[in-house]
């Protein structure tokens, strides 16, 4: 495993539509393992393939709705699509490709995603609260959409200092 460089806003890959994954081979597995290591090292909660320069429909999401922090685990989503959503949450959101920037974004509070695993098997997974936000944010990356396009407003430096 190796970490990969996270691209920052302004790089063309972050505004690109990503293509579906069609081959579930060693190359995909290496990419997934690298993305997981990169996410762990970054301290983020989600990472999409275009953020490491790969224009394919692949995201990693950290499931944080667990009892103990040590129980957190990563969900690999290949060719994901949201098939159900419910409720609404409005709150601060950030992105590893825009370090230090946060905006107020409204997202569904619960979503169900259909995806494939690293071997091509279909599955469904549900997320709520932060995990639902993360699913939506990462899937937006696959369409080349950054949270700044969805934010009602960005947090000011004064607001950021209060945290
Ligand atoms: Zn992001």
Q: Which domain holds residue 118?
A: 12-162
Going from the Cα of 79 to the center of ligand 1, the distance in angstroms, rounded, reads 17
Give pLDDT, residue 163: 60
**Residue 122 belongs to some domain of the structure:** yes
Going from the Cα of 99 to the center of ligand 1, the distance in angstroms, rounded, reads 10
**Residue 2 belongs to some domain of the structure:** no
Give pLDDT, residue 162: 77
The token pair that represents 95 in the structure block: 């992105």
Please state the domain count of the chain: 1
**Residue 7 belongs to some domain of the structure:** no
- Distance, in Å, from the CA atom of 114 to the CA atom of 31, rounded to the nearest integer, reads 20
Say which CATH number the domain at 75 has.
3.90.45.10
Give pLDDT, residue 161: 84
- Distance, in Å, from the CA atom of 92 to the CA atom of 103, rounded to the nearest integer, reads 5
73, 66, 78, 93: which is closest to 139 by C-alpha?
78
**Residue 27 belongs to some domain of the structure:** yes
Catalytic residues: 138
Question: Does the predicted model carry a pTM greater than 0.85?
Answer: yes
Mean pLDDT by 10 residues, the chain (163 residues): 95 97 98 97 96 98 90 96 98 96 98 98 97 98 98 92 74
Buried b (16+ CB within 10 A) or exposed e, 115-148: bbebeeeeeebebbebbbbbbbbbbbbbebebbe
**Residue 6 belongs to some domain of the structure:** no
Going from the Cα of 93 to the center of ligand 1, the distance in angstroms, rounded, reads 9
**Residue 68 belongs to some domain of the structure:** yes
**Residue 4 belongs to some domain of the structure:** no
- Distance, in Å, from the CA atom of 94 to the CA atom of 47, rounded to the nearest integer, reads 12
Going from the Cα of 46 to the center of ligand 1, the distance in angstroms, rounded, reads 7
**Residue 156 belongs to some domain of the structure:** yes
Going from the Cα of 45 to the center of ligand 1, the distance in angstroms, rounded, reads 9
Are 93 and 134 in contact by the 8 Å Cβ rule? The answer is no
């Amino acid at each position: 495993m190796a970490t990969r460089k996270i691209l920052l806003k302004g790089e063309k890959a972050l505004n690109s539509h990503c293509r579906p994954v069609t081959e579930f081979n060693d190359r995909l597995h290496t990419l997934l393992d690298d993305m997981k290591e990169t996410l762990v090292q970054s301290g983020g909660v989600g990472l999409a393939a275009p953020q490491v320069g790969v224009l394919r429909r692949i995201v990693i999401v950290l499931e944080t709705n667990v009892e103990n922090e040590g129980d957190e685990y990563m969900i690999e989503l290949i060719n994901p699509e949201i098939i159900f959503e419910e409720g609404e949450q409005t709150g601060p959101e950030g992105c590893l490709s825009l370090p230090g920037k946060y905006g107020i974004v409204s997202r569904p509070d619960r979503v169900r995603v259909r995806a494939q695993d690293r071997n091509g098997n279909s599955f469904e997974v549900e997320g709520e609260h932060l995990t639902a936000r993360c699913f939506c944010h990462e899937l937006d990356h696959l369409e080349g959409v950054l949270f700044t396009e969805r934010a009602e407003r960005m947090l000011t430096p004064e607001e950021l200092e209060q945290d």
